[in-house]
Amino acid sequence: MVTRRALSYLPQLLLLCQLTFLPAQVRAQSTYTLETEAEPDTVNRFSRQLPWLAAGATVLYGGGLALLNHAWYQEQERTSFHWFDDSQEWKQLDKAGHLWGAFHESRLGVDLLRKAGVPEKQAIWYGGALGFVLQSPIEYFDGRSPAYGASATDLLANAAGSLAVIGQQLAWGELRLVPKYSFHPTRYAALRPNVLGKGLPEEMLKDYNGQTYWLSVDLAKFLPAQSKFPAWLNPALGYGAQEMVYHDTAANQALGLTAYRQYYLSVDLNWQAIPTRSKFLKSAFYVLSILKFPAPALEFNHRHGWKMHPLYF
């Protein structure tokens, strides 16, 4: 049976599909934005392709929602729409996931509309809203579930991801602060595999203990043009949490666990600042830019204090 949390990751899974199959010329860029001055023939050609791409993505997304909605409700009765406050659960790692997904969906939306020759402000506002539009329907399904409810804080996180793209594009015409994701397997998934996942693919989606969300800062963009700081190297701030088998404190404590937050300082690879003429590599770099590159990291948490990781995923 498809779980609610698998349903909530549908937009992110579709994001990966969109990024993977998007035409390579759309991703031919050297930073977190597309080249705005493309050849007219290229723009016209992509403008003709865009409606088909949009239609295909709409059918894929709509069909996925319908199938997962059916799977989720096939053994449950629907209730009237209602809200549920989950803002204190999972140390807010789920909210970070919503923001991360909405951000990169909105990034894709802006890039697509720019490449199609849509006027700049319209490309930013309409494309930047894509993350919120894709993520938010999930809350309707939650709101009709007797075991859950729609989450206002999920909607806020979705909006924050989209607004982070829109705000940066309006201020700088590019993205300089980019949320990223990394994962490492933990021992906690085995304690509750039906919720935290069974096997690496499921655990990457469900086990919040192994998820870390990062803010990768394109420092070179903030420095003077004559700066020698390498454009491919970003400082990164990370956030994670441990000992979360249940979101309920008492249930966790019954297992001898007490959830705690973790904070990280690391470096990241700015894939799209790496010069290359290969369309394949440009495409790969665009996709990889949603993920934090494994690197040494300094951790702080209130349980154990400071800790150095020689290589952190």
Tens digit of each residue's pLDDT (9 = 90 or more) over 107-120? 999 999 998 889 99
Is residue 28 scored above 50 in pLDDT? no
Distance CA 118, CA 19 (A): 20
178 in Cβ contact with 219 (< 8 Å): no
Question: pLDDT tens-digit profile of 37-88?
Answer: 455 665 566 666 667 666 766 776 677 667 666 655 555 677 899 999 999 9
Is residue 33 scored above 90 in pLDDT? no
The secondary structure of the chain in percent helix, strand, coil, rounded to multiples of 5, reads: 55, 15, 30
E-state strands within the chain: 177-183, 211-217, 233-242, 260-269, 295-301, 305-312
Is residue 15 scored above 80 in pLDDT? no
21-35, 38-52, 142-156: which has the minimum mean pLDDT? 21-35
**Count of CA atoms in the C-beta half-sphere (13 A) of 179:** 27
Is residue 241 scored above 60 in pLDDT? yes
Question: pLDDT tens-digit profile of 268-311?
Answer: 999 999 999 999 999 999 999 999 999 999 999 999 999 999 99
Q: What is the pLDDT of residue 308?
A: 98
Which residues neighbour 170 within 8 Å (Cβ) at sequence distance 6 or greater? 124
125 in Cβ contact with 1 (< 8 Å): no
15-19, 47-51, 121-125, 128-132: which has the minimum mean pLDDT? 15-19
**Count of CA atoms in the C-beta half-sphere (13 A) of 268:** 31
Beta bridge partners of 251: none
* Residue 131 or 45, more confident: 131
Q: Kindly report the backbone phi and psi dihedral angles of residue 56, in degrees, each rounded to the nearest multiple of 5, phi listed first.
A: -65, -45
Take residue 107 and report the two structure tokens written for it: 């990034």
Q: What is the pLDDT of residue 227?
A: 95
Beta bridge partners of 180: 214
**Count of CA atoms in the C-beta half-sphere (13 A) of 212:** 27
Mean pLDDT of the chain: 86
Percent of the chain with pLDDT over 90: 67
Give the predicted TM-score (pTM) of the model: 0.86
Query: Parallel, antiparallel, or unpaired: how do β-strands 305-312 and 177-183 relate?
Result: unpaired
310 in Cβ contact with 180 (< 8 Å): no
Is residue 209 scored above 70 in pLDDT? yes
234 pLDDT band, cuts 50/70/90, is very high
Distance CA 20, CA 280 (A): 11
Take residue 74 and report the two structure tokens written for it: 């096939």
5 pLDDT band, cuts 50/70/90, is low
Distance CA 51, CA 134 (A): 17
